[in-house]
Amino acid sequence: MATFGAKAVSPLEAVSRAEEKSRDEPTYAAPSAKKKLVPSMSISGLAAEVFSIRFSPDGRYLAAACGDGAVRVFNASNGALSHTMVTPNSTAGLPATIARFRPVGAADRTKNVLLSGNANGAIQHWHVTSGKCLNSLFDGDNQIYALDYVPSGDKFAAAGKEPVVKIFDEDTRKLVVTLQGALGSFGIGLKGDAGHSNRIFSLKWHHSDPKLLLSGGWDNTVQLWDVRAAVSVRTIYGPHLCGDALDLDGDALLTGSWKPVDQLQIWDLGTGKLRRTIDWASSYIQQREPCMVYAAQFSKMNNNADYLAAGGSGANEARVFDMGDGFNLIGTVTGLARGVFTLDFAPNAQRLAVAGGDATIRIIDIVGSDAWELERPGTAEKL
């Protein structure tokens, strides 16, 4: 496994290390953009770091998977805590690592359902309106780091410590497909069947083809799986994923790597070839450490994304780029005391949530520069 000049660490390992040097309150630097980042609200005083955040499909809720094992659900408009949901009958105290809202599907399905994963191997379905756990299943000795739904919501994929991807039926919660190389944990078999050889930290289902699923992790590969045939049909070499850093916009594949150079790259999904590497120099304010990316995402606008956001550790910052303006930098959230582990665009693509090791969720608006002086940030009450 490549080290890129430093030992690779997941967000789980990052928070177990000594506290980083405290810094001032974050700043929202905007070098020369037509649009700017405006801090809208901070949800602070959480009991633990945040490993995953997700807006609900309608934008009403914001779910946070936290290091104390709880999944917290907030009102996305005012930051008020709606529910704190904890794995039933669990005393392990291991982190909740990943969260995904079920896509809006058939009319007879329960609405506002959240899927979460835990480092103790648990996968739960939650009803965020009531805070109730609808179902729990445990994946043996595995640790769950990644989840994703097929767009119809009929199936979901799970992966983590073990180098395999498991597909479950949403209604029965039964395992239907296991995706792995011919020799399982060795990644590639005698017949050349590709797969992963190390931990998997990110999953992304194709937006329009339900048989295609992407996965990436520590082994410096991204695998494109044909779920129907249970084989990898393409391997992209190079991206070193340590968090939720795979996304799709049409046939453009975004990867965010935990390394000091070439952190953000866009690939052609059809050919597997690199289209471009997005420039990420050293920290905009500090001009010192590089930022090694844990999380990366396109904005959600029907496969025609306007923005790209990413964040990580080292420089402890998040950045937003304008895809319609030559990937120019809109702004940087910097000056954070701990790394950025997760981020998510709201459904309207004009709002972004950023969170990580400092146990604070920051909600940021993307506005035109002419509206900059009209915006006034607010702060949610501490919990």
Residue-by-residue pLDDT tens, the chain, 383 positions: 322 234 456 676 665 443 444 445 677 665 555 889 999 999 999 999 999 999 999 999 999 999 999 999 999 999 999 999 987 665 567 999 999 999 987 667 889 999 999 999 999 999 999 999 999 999 988 999 999 999 999 999 999 999 999 999 999 999 999 999 865 444 444 445 789 999 999 999 999 999 999 999 999 999 999 999 999 999 999 999 999 999 999 999 999 999 999 999 999 999 999 999 998 874 444 456 899 999 999 998 656 789 999 999 999 999 999 998 899 999 999 999 999 999 999 998 789 999 999 999 999 999 986 665 554 455 555 55
Closest CA to 125 of 104, 144, 99: 99
> Can you tell me whether residue 184 is helix, strand or coil?
strand
> Can you tell me whether residue 324 is helix, strand or coil?
helix
The predicted model scores a pTM of 0.88
180 token code pair: 């792995």
Rg for the chain (alpha carbons), in Å?
19
Amino acid 198: pLDDT? 95
> Can you tell me whether residue 326 is helix, strand or coil?
coil
Strand partners, 340: 356
> Can you tell me whether residue 259 is helix, strand or coil?
coil
Asked if the 49-237 domain carries CATH number 3.40.50.300, the reply is no
Strand partners, 177: 167
Question: Within 10 Å of residue 201's Cβ, how many Cβ atoms?
Answer: 27
Provide the CA 211 distance to its chain's centre, in angstroms. Answer: 21
**Residues 277, 325: Cα–Cα separation, whole Å:** 15
Q: What is the DSSP letter of 369?
A: G
The helix or strand, by DSSP H or E, that contains position 374, with its residue range, turns out to be none
Amino acid 29: pLDDT? 66
Helices (H) and strands (E) in the chain, counts: 1, 29
Instruction: State the Cα torsion 18-118-200-296 to the nearest 10°.
Output: -70
Largest Cα span, the chain: 63
Among positive and negative, which fits the CA dihedral 346, 352, 353, 355? positive
Amino acid 284: pLDDT? 47
> Can you tell me whether residue 225 is helix, strand or coil?
strand
CA angle 280, 285, 291 (to 5 degrees): 35
**Residues 74, 383: Cα–Cα separation, whole Å:** 11
**Residues 365, 295: Cα–Cα separation, whole Å:** 18
